[in-house]
Amino acid sequence: MALTEIILIVICIAACLLVLTLIPTLLAIKRTATAVGDLTTMLQGELKPALKELTELLAELKTVGGGVAEHTDDVVRFMTALGETGTNLSTINRSVGAVTGVLNTTALWATGAKVAGKYIVERYLKKRGGV
């Protein structure tokens, strides 16, 4: 056997070993590619409805946000009116307190005048009757 024949045999054996080693690797790559294809199909099937729902939700949120922005002015006006109502109630309360004070004072003066009038009339009548 010549050196060339030995080298060719070694190359042949090396090529056979390489093919035998690559076969399981190629099968694993094929299974991986199939799994990736299935995953892609599943993701496309699941992702499209999810994206559609998210788009609808976003549109609905924009509508709700616009409605909230519209009614913000109403809430501000309501709060302003509520503050003014509180101020007016406070003013009315002070006025009622002042009127109550005046009425109490008037009632006291009237009672005092009545008692003083009775006393003066009795004294006058006693002086006239006793003379």
The answer to whether position 19 is within a domain reads yes
Q: What angle do CA 29, 35, 38 make, to 5 degrees?
A: 145
83 vs 89: CA distance, rounded Å: 10
In total, how many domains does the chain have? 1
Q: Average pLDDT across each block of 10 residues of the chain; the chain has 131 residues. List them in order.
A: 89 92 91 92 86 89 78 84 90 90 89 88 79 48
The answer to whether position 71 is within a domain reads yes
Amino acid identity at 5: E
The answer to whether position 126 is within a domain reads no
The answer to whether position 34 is within a domain reads yes
Question: What was the pLDDT predicted at 12?
Answer: 93
HSE value, Cβ hemisphere, 13 Å, CA-based, for 49: 4
| R_g over Cα of the chain | 53
Which helix (H) or strand (E) segment holds residue 130: the answer is: helix 3-130
126 vs 131: CA distance, rounded Å: 8
Q: Which domain holds residue 59?
A: 1-99
The answer to whether position 73 is within a domain reads yes
